[in-house]
Structure 1
């Protein structure tokens, strides 16, 4: 069930208001962002929706009395067919999957009605189905509030918490969510271990496949990996009589209590929503997801929650509140609707058409979010074009390739600088001084923002072509003010990749798939079977086989740089970062590389730089 519209009359905080959760085509929008300054009633709206799902909008309600609330509801096909069979629903001529629940908390009589279309007109009938307990299964909410106690209490034992339990009522996060989610992670890790032990007992002499390992904890690990590219969920360990949840970063282990407040926010609020990912078909309510998050994480957080609230069978409607300019002005926002609330000098709250806050410009936002003032200040003194790459190691590939071509007297006129950066987690001695947590969306936002004001020298962004954002620049584009963008294209030695490519696929396989000094290598998705078995050696497998089901052909191949192991559980995959460093430092056997696949990229750069 999803909300199409919410009409509010005489609410003691919100007054009179209509909130439309549909798009221009009249279709319900799955992600609603309620935006505005503090004090404009954003949280009140979430409370209102949650209380409706719990049947608390009644005439004797302290907080919602003497008001009228109308919820226009849309059912999915299963809900529509089911609700018509409910004896208490009593509307047998419902022909559409949409109707309106009308609640008048100012009246004990005729308090609850349903308005619906009967084929000829919209009629209103008394109906108390949506204040009865058996209606709760049709309208459930999961409410993530800002109230979090970040400290996890000591946990010494396993309980019986599980995931995807059948929900009977709406859920609301409590202040003790940190300990609850920690206990859940410990319990499901224990369940995973028990299932694995049972499989080994029932299949003597066989190596357990990846599909039977960490079935429950996998969803949490994958979600955390999205937000923490360098910090990994490492599992549960017994330490000093207690069970500790561990994470690893740069080979350094830390407990869940040692995470930053922003990281804990992701783990606890994300875990709260992930807990019932496959059984929860209700509306997700999230109050101010930006709390405690760095601006770079704020720009990713909405997409993070979208991933959490989508199962194979169902996409939940998300309604969240924010006053973060990094969420609202994010260029990569898509498939959502922003509803802006404002309060006038008399204290009246209304829906505004204005979508901007604090009068922040894109330039101000991006400077604050990415800390790029340093190299922006260097640009006026820099007389060379600046190349900014999507990945923290991509510039190493391009710089090394250009050095190779120049040694062969090619591209000698290509006098450029690369933005040599790494992420904030890189503590190595030779790490570049500029620290940026870059991604395809961040690069796109940076370029669009830089294009808003004058640049003395050309700035060129280079994208991979394996993302929808990068694909926008298959033909180079002048974004304005000397700022350009383009994406890499398939080299001549590879078949046309319908999914797009990352920089590593510019190399020939003879170089790409070499074994490193640490006995690891990169893999291609089409080297594996549908079940994740390595075609050349079935003792080797890829853990996340579901991720490569669409990439088993040469025309859809992807790079695999993690989760490849043998039956002894030895990790065999070389990370993209290590591969780039071997190339950059010319570490044998990566000291004699064929860079022919990079030639078209430098021709493109020549065309942009030499074209005035």
Structure 2
């Protein structure tokens, strides 16, 4: 049985949709992914499908586990009728193996008589009391045997169990279920799936070991006093049987999941843990090129939550089909059914959502998957795995969309681009001739820092010091690397192998610089390092210096040929007036607010004017250029505070 069509009118957020569910040329169903914002109707749509399945199941069993007695799974409420409309209408069609149809109708109305006339062309079998209460649910068609031939499962958001460390967790290994004629105890709404699937996998492995080993008669011989004597014996052959086959399918699911985390994985399987661990299942892998097994999870609870969730979800499909199938052998490609998964990417890492889940869906080509998701990464993975053999439907309009039209994907893309566009441009550094060389690369925070450090290095090398330091600067003139951007750049580059050392140098006045100042050298991985400029003795009082404070005041306040210079916030009073000359002030008092003290001293390089309105400040870039070019006014500077910085760089390069 497959879902063929769903029509919804005036129901909650959904005004009108008519979805024809897609199939491949060979008749196998294409996965369908429902996307949309919260409140757009995804849950109402899936709950209607689940309610229809429960009503179909009631036609065959007088007692079912999904809903007690005659109660409904989804209660009819006129509150769900869209404002301004007189009725809501849900109609779901299923195609059966014999080409017949099953049709479910769910109607609520403020004006039952008028609604009957509006919908009369559907030939709906209305309940006798519809005119009185305005509610009706009906099933048209023969439903016998549907739930005994197909894997039909619904995984709601609350499908997973409580953490293993909770005291009230029960042991799922022994379960007794009594069945009676007309009664069905298998609830296709799956909650607590991890506990139940753990118990089932253990049963499968034990039954395979205990009952499906082939015992082959053999005639062994034993050497006694130089003569071989025959005695009766047996050999254990390869296991055969349904549980052994199921075990292979389970291991295939497990291998598919773990390949997302272990690229060189050859195979993975479930085994049985030691008696000390309580005879639970363990996870054993073998990597490509290896002849030995490795236990990566001594018990099921040692798996990551994402891995356990995926095992439980997809093995539940095998478990359900095993319970209804009369086949001696099972094959994933032959399992038929309908599986609804709400928020399939729930609690999953990006890699599992993008790589593992689409590959797991591909293992079950004859299962119709109806899925809701908010994950752009899952959709990108579906595109890679299925190409055009799946469909994305956007709620509340029921529009068929492409991955690029998915609003969450656009939002995520915008966040990444807005955040890293400038860094992406700077990644050209890695492709430049500078990066291709074997010399270490130094990248500074701020476009002036490299100029000061380069000037200091030239000064020391002219005196015969640090002549063995072999590195190049990333020399840039734009605003490429702030504290945050430099940190993002370094942490991204540290994720890939580098054949040379990359050193990022931070000031001490912002977040990442303060963080890295706690250690002399910070190793970020793959030959990438982060350091901060050292705190010179003459600034020991300061809470967090920038590069200009490496100079002593006599050099910091030098004037250029135009009479301009740098100022610091501690040189001004609360009114923004220069202590030494009250006719000089800062136009914007906020520049010095809270910083006109030595501990929080800050460089002021603009908006300093005299009583005539003349600009007196020199920009930090002009100051750096004057130092680097050794302008007459900026010769013979004291670079002693930079010496410790070069000692740190030297220690990194020679490691």
Larger Rg: 2
TM norm structure 2 = 0.44
| TM value normalised by structure 1 | 0.47
- Which is helix-richer, 1 or 2? 2
